[in-house]
C-alpha cells in the first residue's frame, strides 16, 4: 500500500522525546547502565492516598459509563477550590473549569477553536514542542518568540513586529518555564495583558510546574494579573505535582468563553477522562498538600547535589527556583547535540540537547532531577571522567 501522508504529518519535526527514548533503548540493548535525566517523568510514586482513592473508585459501576467530556462537576469544583486556595482566583466551576486528559491534550486541542490558515500563533522558543505542533495541525503560522538568557528567558514583546501581532490570535507562555526553569514576574504578566488587549490576542498559559518551587519562591498564576481573565486561559497538570504523569489528568481554567471553546472541541474529539481517575485527582487536589511540600524538599536536595557538582566540574549552572530541570551551558567546543551524544556514548547519561526545544536553545542542555541523590552522584562522577 502506498501511503500519502497529509502535509501536517509530513511537515512534523521529529518529536524530541521519542528520539531521546530511541537512543536510550539503543544504549540499553548494548548493556549500558543508563541514567536517564532526559524526560521530565518523576521517578517517585503517586501518593498512597490517591492510589487508594482510585482503587475504591474503579470498583464503582457508575464510573464504568461514558464520562462527561468537560469533567464531572465534583472534579471541576475541586479544581476551582484548589485555584482559590492557591491563587485567590474566584472561578465558576460550571463555566470556567474544564477537565482535560493531561494538559498536553488540551494544549494540542485548544488551537482548533481559533486557528486556521494564515492565523499567527506566538510561540516561545526554546519551548515545549506541542505549542508549535498544535499550530501546525491547524494550518496556522508559528511566530517564534526567542527566550534569551540576557532577557531572563522572557520573550521581548517589543521585538514582535506590529504586523505580526495584528495577525496573531494566540500567545503561548509557560512559567515556571520548561526547559529553562525561568520564572516570570507579575510585572511581566501585566505587560502581556496590555499587549494582548492592544492586539486582541488570547493568552494561553501553561502552568504545569507552578507547584515545583524552591527556596520560598511562590509562582503566580497568570490569571491573578489584573485584566488577565478577559483574555486568558491557563492549563494545569497533576502530573508533576502529584507524580501522576501516567494518569493523564489536568484542568483548564480562565475566561468562560475560552473554556467553552475548549469544551466544544473536546466534546467532538474525546469522551472525557475516566471518572475513577477524576475521583483520585479530587483526593490529590483536596488534600492538605503536605505531600507536595515533601516533594519540594526532595527536589531541592537533588538540585543542590547536581548544580553544585556541575559547577565544581566547570559547567556553568544556576540553581533553579522552580521546575525540576537544570538548564546549563554546554562546555566550550561542544554543540548541544555533540555534548549530549558524548554523554550517552561515553558515560551512559541521557540528557536533552537545548536546540531540540528550538534554535535559541543551541549551546545549552537540560537535565531532569528524576533520579535520587546517589544516582546524581554517579552522574557527576561519570561526567567528570568524560570531561
Question: What is the percent of the chain with per-residue pLDDT over 70, rounded to a whole number?
Answer: 99
Q: Quickly state the pLDDT bin for 16 (edges 50, 70, 90).
A: low
Q: Residue 96: which of 226, 234, 210, 255 has the closest Cα?
A: 255
- Under 8 Å between Cβ of 54 and 277: yes
* Alpha carbon distances (Å) from 86 to 59, 234, 256, 297: 32, 14, 20, 19
Element (H, E) at 366: strand 364-368
Element (H, E) at 382: helix 373-386
- pLDDT exceeds cutoff 80 at 379: yes
For residues 188-208, average pLDDT: 98
Q: Quickly state the pLDDT bin for 17 (edges 50, 70, 90).
A: low
Give the count of alpha carbons within 13 A of 159, CB side only: 12
Q: What does pLDDT average to over the chain?
A: 95
| Cell reading at 258 | 475560552
Q: Residue 42: which of 281, 239, 296 has the closest Cα?
A: 239
> CA-to-CA distance for 213 and 256, rounded, in angstroms?
29
- Under 8 Å between Cβ of 135 and 141: yes
For residues 104-123, average pLDDT: 97
Distance from the Cα of residue 218 to its chain's centroid:
17
Provide DSSP, 240-300. Answer: TTTT-GGG--EEEEE-HHHHHHHHHHHHHH-----HHHHHHHHHHHHS-SHHHHHHHHHHH
- What angle, 0 to 180 degrees and rounded to 10, lies between the N-to-C axes of helices 73-87 and 275-286? 20
For residues 239-245, average pLDDT: 97
For residues 81-86, average pLDDT: 98
> CA-to-CA distance for 259 and 158, rounded, in angstroms?
29
Element (H, E) at 36: strand 35-36
* Domains identified in the chain and CATH numbers: 9-39+290-386 (3.90.1150.10), 48-286 (3.40.640.10)
pLDDT, residue 1, reads: 81
Burial of 379 per CB tally in 10 Å (0-12, 13-18, 19+)? buried
pLDDT, residue 26, reads: 84
> CA-to-CA distance for 340 and 222, rounded, in angstroms?
34
For residues 203-211, average pLDDT: 98
- Running DSSP on this structure, what letter comes out for residue 40? -
pTM score, whole prediction: 0.96
How close are the terminal C-alpha atoms of the chain, in Å? 49
pLDDT, residue 371, reads: 97
For residues 81-106, average pLDDT: 98
Say if residue 80 is preceded by a cis peptide, omega within 30 of 0. Answer: no
Provide DSSP, 195-255. Answer: HHHHHT-EEEEE-TTTT-B-TT--PPPGGGSTTHHHHEEEEEESTTTTT-GGG--EEEEE-
Report angle CA 190, 191, 192 to the nearest 5 degrees: 90
- Under 8 Å between Cβ of 154 and 184: yes
pLDDT in tens, 291-335: 999 999 999 999 999 999 999 999 999 999 999 999 999 999 999
> What residues have CB less than 8 Å from 235, skipping those under 6 apart?
100, 103, 106, 107, 204, 205, 206, 207, 208, 250, 251, 252
- Under 8 Å between Cβ of 365 and 354: yes
Report angle CA 373, 376, 381 to the nearest 5 degrees: 130
pLDDT, residue 12, reads: 79
Strands 35-36 and 349-350: parallel
Q: Quickly state the pLDDT bin for 98 (edges 50, 70, 90).
A: very high
pLDDT in tens, 28-74: 888 889 999 998 899 999 999 999 999 999 999 999 999 999 999 99
pLDDT in tens, 326-369: 999 999 999 999 999 999 999 999 999 999 999 999 999 999 99
Q: Is pLDDT larger for residue 7 or for residue 287?
A: 287
Amino acid at each position: 500500500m502506498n501511503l500519502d501522508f497529509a502535509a501536517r504529518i509530513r511537515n512534523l519535526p521529529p518529536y524530541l522525546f521519542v528520539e531521546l527514548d530511541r537512543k536510550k533503548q539503543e544504549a540499553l540493548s548494548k548493556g549500558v547502565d543508563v541514567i536517564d535525566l532526559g524526560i521530565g517523568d518523576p521517578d517517585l510514586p503517586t501518593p498512597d492516598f490517591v492510589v487508594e482513592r482510585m482503587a475504591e473508585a474503579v470498583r464503582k459501576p457508575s464510573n464504568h459509563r461514558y464520562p462527561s467530556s468537560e469533567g464531572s462537576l465534583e472534579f471541576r469544583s475541586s479544581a476551582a477550590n484548589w485555584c482559590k486556595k492557591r491563587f485567590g482566583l474566584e472561578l465558576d466551576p460550571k463555566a470556567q473549569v474544564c477537565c482535560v486528559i493531561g494538559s498536553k491534550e488540551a494544549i494540542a486541542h485548544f488551537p482548533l477553536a481559533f486557528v486556521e490558515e494564515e492565523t499567527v500563533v506566538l510561540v516561545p522558543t526554546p519551548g515545549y514542542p506541542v505549542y508549535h505542533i498544535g499550530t501546525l495541525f491547524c494550518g496556522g503560522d508559528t511566530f517564534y518568540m526567542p527566550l534569551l538568557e540576557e532577557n531572563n528567558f522572557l520573550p521581548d514583546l517589543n521585538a514582535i513586529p506590529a504586523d505580526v501581532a495584528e495577525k496573531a490570535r494566540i500567545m503561548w507562555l509557560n512559567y515556571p518555564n520548561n526547559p529553562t526553569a525561568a520564572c516570570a514576574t507579575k510585572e511581566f504578566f501585566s505587560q502581556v495583558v496590555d499587549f494582548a488587549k492592544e492586539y486582541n490576542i488570547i493568552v494561553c498559559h501553561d502552568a504545569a510546574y507552578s507547584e515545583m518551587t524552591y527556596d520560598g519562591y511562590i509562582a503566580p498564576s497568570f490569571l491573578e494579573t489584573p485584566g488577565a481573565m478577559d483574555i486568558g486561559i491557563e492549563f494545569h497538570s497533576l502530573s508533576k505535582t502529584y507524580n501522576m504523569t501516567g494518569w493523564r489528568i489536568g484542568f483548564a481554567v480562565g475566561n468562560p468563553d475560552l473554556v467553552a471553546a475548549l469544551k466544544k472541541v473536546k466534546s467532538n474529539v474525546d469522551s472525557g477522562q475516566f471518572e475513577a481517575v477524576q475521583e483520585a485527582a479530587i483526593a490529590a487536589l483536596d488534600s492538605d498538600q503536605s505531600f507536595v511540600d515533601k516533594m519540594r524538599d526532595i527536589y531541592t536536595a537533588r538540585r543542590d547535589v547536581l548544580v553544585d557538582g556541575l559547577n565544581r566540574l566547570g559547567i556553568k549552572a544556576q540553581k533553579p527556583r522552580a521546575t525540576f530541570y537544570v538548564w546549563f551551558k554546554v562546555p566550550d567546543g561542544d554543540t548541544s547535540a555533540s555534548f549530549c551524544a558524548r554523554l550517552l556514548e561515553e558515560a551512559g547519561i541521557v540528557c536533552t540537547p537545548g536546540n531540540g526545544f528550538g534554535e535559541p536553545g543551541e549551546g545549552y542542555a537540560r537535565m531532569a532531577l528524576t533520579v535520587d541523590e546517589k544516582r546524581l552522584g554517579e552522574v557527576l562522577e561519570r561526567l567528570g571522567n568524560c570531561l
